[in-house]
Chains A and B, each alone.
Chain A
Amino acid sequence: MGAVVLRDIEKLYGDTIACTDINLSINEGEFFTFLGPSGCGKTTILRLIAGFVQPKKGTIHLGRRDITNLEAEKRQVGMVFQNYALFPFMTVAGNIEYGLKIQKKSKKERAERVEKYTEMVGLIGFEHRNISELSGGEQQRVALARSLAIEPKVLLLDEPLSNLDARLRDRMRSELKSLQKKLGITTIFVTHDQTEALTMSDRVAVFEKGRCIQVGSPEEIYAHPINSFVARFIGDTNLFAADIKNGTASLSDMVAISLETQASGRFISIRPQDIVFSTAQDDRPNVFPAKVDTIQFDGSSVEYSVKVHDISFRLTILNTSTLCHNITVGEDVHIAIAEKSIKVLDS
């Protein structure tokens, strides 16, 4: 029974609204991610679920049980802290065993579980090390094993990968994900890194200023951002305020883009990879003459910034394309924007 339901949750710190109007339903066994910029209230919601702080209003259910007023220690919610909070005066095994001792498990069972979870996180042989003798990645694994060992109903992870270097972060990302799959434990993962959110999650909730703006699968959120904030925050985009009417979006006096729909709105968003180079002969709609401004090579792809009259567009071309090699700065080119890849947004 690991489903978590938040209903109409609000939390204030003094006059600051840390989060408000939070309605979320996290399914059993789901890998659910809270994504948002710093200070948007992600940690606060996690701490509300863990029971370290109390909401001003609203209810929290874990399974069928209302846990809104239950003490933290009785919630059976495991938490991995951003700084890991490993007990410095205990060994690796001591840390993992701590929750089991609290649960008054027999010595034999404790030993078995410690072994099981040490192995699961790949720390066999480290049991008797002191915490100060571990690297950041190893500490992270201990923290994970420690919260998993009590076999909680829900696992909460507060930016667990943010203290690791890029390479290790990539590896831990997939390890964490496969571990979660294997255990089938309901997991709430907090991050401000969109790549982490998109690669690991079953569903993502995007937060801004204490509010949850959109919930959906990574594909949904990427393909159909609900507003300009989400569009900008998830993936890279060309975002323009536009005058939209009669199936045309005017970006300026000189540049107007034709749309597939008659929808109204105030912004349009175009992903950089949805813009391609073209030729004057191309007779599809939305082909524009342009001048190349900058070229930025980043290994697997190349990013161009081009100007169509007074409007700048960014396009990303995979490095495999032959086009990449013969375009230079200042060159006159043509770009094409597929009508169906243009999103119209209200706000």
Chain B
Amino acid sequence: MDIMPNHKKLFGTLGVVLLLWFLVGYILYPALKTVEVSLTDHGTISLIHYSRFFTSDASIAPLTNSIVLGLLTVIVCGLIGTALAFFVHYFDFPGKNIVDKLLLMPLILPGIVIVFAFVQLYGESGLVTKSIEWLFGLESKPYSFSGLKGILFVHAYTQYVYFYISVSIAIRHIDYSVIESARNLGAAKTKIFTSVILPFITPALISSAIITFISGIGSFTAPSIIGGGYRVLTTQILLSKANNYMEVAATQVVILTGISLFLFSVFRLYEKKAVFTSSVKGVSIQVVTIKNPLIRFLMLSTAGILIVTILLPVFAIILLSFVESETLMMNIFPQEFTCENYLDIFTSARKFAPFLNSIVMALLASLLGLVIAIPSSYLIVKTQIKLKWLIEILVMLPWAMPASAIAINIINAYNTPNIFSFNSVLVGTFILLPLGYFVRSIPLMVKTTSISFQNLNETYIEASKSLGASRFQTFTRIVLPMISPGLVAGFLLVFVRSIGEYTLSVFLYTPSNKPVSIAVVNGIFEYNIGLAMAYGALLILVTSALSFLISKFSTALSR
């Protein structure tokens, strides 16, 4: 782009200014506003909330709990995720590909649905719990599924994915010729592991540990539903907000975000420095085929157990969605099945409303995401403008913000009129939730759309021009088809992440604007378990179908 007419430059500049105005207004400004609120006491600047926080045992305890939870989550998920990655990518066994795909499932299932599935399986009157009691004739429950243990159990299921994905990638990048030459030099197996394999996967382990820790201390759904007496920062934030201690909530948010942001910066620095890929021309890892029939049998059983464990919550939800809630109260195991719950949702406007509402809000969030992510990733990938770094930081910032923090930031920023909201109060309005969903997902969306633009080589555009196509024809016939798989994938991804979102929803919903995740929780607390599970099953149906589409578009993208 050599000579650009002046009016086009003007439009370009205007576009960049608008984009920055939006990003600052809805990502940076709310965060700063929260900092301001935390530093205010009865209208004057004060550090009192911080000094109170750090001097009271009652507020230090949740902080310690959050950190302990984060650390334990890293340990548990690190062990599980790494073991699974090696199991799937280092050995050869039948059904390997299915296991690989299934292991990614927790990524797309709405957290709130998983938590309730776990409660229904392993809780006090859960199916698995009762089965064990019945099988062994126990008088009392064999274990307690609440507090730290329960949260960890759920985290183990939902958060091993980061470790699993990044270690899997690292394993595939291990240069097998290095292993071969180590063998050649007579290295023992353990030596090979510590001196060859470990260095290859260490960067993956460290970065997943950081990301898992951030998501562990930011976790809200599991602690709020099954945490019981184990109070963590995120749940305390909701409590402060519910009691209208906004300044306390803001202080807690600043502390939580501070920790995340610090670790996230470490992560980014580390990511830039660490060499994640090996020599390009290396021989890629060869899967080990086990010949010993006993070990083979053990491995197959492990694979089978894995599949069952992963699918069990999904089956539980589907099963319970066909149960009449009253009969469930009376029997240990469900006996009678009915479609009543689904009929209820699809015939009663009141019960359908949350589901429809979530679809609409998720659509809005995804659309908004597209509108912001397309120019952002274009500017980041394809241009050299001066403010590129700022755009990049702004769109990546929400990675480091727990959902509860995003919610509080939005409330603080938009409970009074300001220029970013065209002088209106947004708190209490419908738009608040889609906005929150959007902020939460914008980093992921920009990442996805960026890949599209990276694929779009300038020479395609020149080739099209040299074949006589105008700017417009080039855009519609070449550029659009090339970037659309990434855009569609990004769009669907935000939709999937938003439709069953719980944390932001709890903080930001209004009675007239109830999302389906809240309806699930209400159903459970009203002992209408069948209805709650039917909502859950519908959510799973929608998210899995869309994820299937996403994977289709992603393969188109990598072609």
Q: Which residues of A contact B (CB under 8 A)?
A: 50-54, 71-79, 81, 83, 85-89, 98-99, 102-103, 132, 146-147, 150
Contact = CB atoms under 8 A, between A and B. Distances in A.
A85 B459 contact: yes
A18 to B, nearest CB: 12
A228 B385 CA distance: 44
13 contacts: A52-B466, A73-B465, A73-B468, A79-B463, A79-B466, A81-B463, A85-B459, A85-B462, A87-B460, A88-B482, A89-B481, A89-B559, A103-B468
B467 A146 contact: yes
Nearest to A75: B466
> Shortest 3 CB-CB distances between A and B: which pairs?
A99-B467, A85-B459, A85-B463
The CB with the most chain B CB atoms within 10 A, among A75, A85, A146, is that of A85
B75 interface: no
Nearest to B470: A73
A89 B482 contact: yes
Nearest to A146: B467
A146 B462 CA distance: 13
> Mostly helix, strand, loop or mixed at chain B's interface?
helix
A147 B462 CA distance: 12
B139 interface: no
A15 to B, nearest CB: 16
Contacts of A99: 467-469
Q: Which of B463, B477, B482 has the most CB of A within 10 A?
A: B463
Contacts of A54: 2-3
Given A83-B459, A102-B473, A72 B482 contact: no
B457 interface: yes
Contact of A73 (B3, B460, B469): B469
Interface in B433-465: 457, 459-460, 462-465
A247 B537 CA distance: 99
Contact of B460 (A50, A76, A85): A85
- The listed residue with most A CB atoms (<10 A of its CB), out of B464, B465, B468, B482, is B468
Contact of B468 (A53, A81, A150): A150
A76 B465 CA distance: 10
A150 B556 CA distance: 29
Contacts of B196: none
Nearest to B463: A85
Contacts of A74: 468
Contacts of B328: none
B314 interface: no
Contacts of A88: 482, 559
Contact of B457 (A75, A85, A103, A150): A85
A241 to B, nearest CB: 42
Given A81-B463, A102-B473, A132 B559 contact: yes
Q: How large is the interface on B (under 10, 10 to 19, 20 to 34, 35 or more residues)?
A: 20 to 34
Given A79-B462, A81-B459, 16 more contacts: A50-B466, A54-B2, A71-B465, A72-B462, A72-B465, A73-B467, A76-B468, A78-B466, A85-B457, A87-B464, A89-B556, A89-B559, A98-B467, A99-B469, A103-B468, A132-B559
A101 to B, nearest CB: 8
Contacts of A98: 464, 467, 469, 477
A163 B302 CA distance: 48
A103 B3 CA distance: 26
Contacts of B478: 87
A6 B525 CA distance: 81
Of the listed residues A51, A76, A81, A150, the one surrounded by the most CB atoms of chain B closer than 10 A to its CB is: A81
Nearest to B473: A102
Nearest to B482: A89
Binding site secondary structure of chain A: loop
Nearest to B466: A79
Contacts of A103: 468
Nearest to B477: A98
Which of B466, B470, B559 counts the most chain A CB atoms within 10 A? B466
A261 B128 CA distance: 105
B418 to A, nearest CB: 42
Contacts of A51: 465
Given A53-B2, A102-B473, A147 B459 contact: no
A191 to B, nearest CB: 18
A76 B481 CA distance: 24
A72 B3 contact: no
A85 B468 CA distance: 15
A99 B467 CA distance: 5
Nearest to B471: A73
B465 to A, nearest CB: 4
Nearest to A81: B459
B467 A147 contact: yes
B462 A102 contact: no
Nearest to B459: A85
Nearest to A11: B2
A77 B466 contact: yes
Contacts of B467: 73, 78, 98-99, 102, 146-147, 150
A81 B457 CA distance: 12
B2 to A, nearest CB: 5
Interface centre among A72, A86, A103 (most CB of B within 10 A): A72
Nearest to B457: A85
B47 to A, nearest CB: 51
Contacts of A77: 466
Contacts of B556: 89
Contacts of A52: 462, 465-466
A139 B499 CA distance: 44
Interface string B542-559: 000000000000001001
Contacts of B457: 83, 85
A76 B469 CA distance: 11
Interface in B464-502: 464-471, 473, 477-478, 481-482
Nearest to B3: A54
A328 B457 CA distance: 55
A146 to B, nearest CB: 7
B327 to A, nearest CB: 54
A102 B171 CA distance: 47
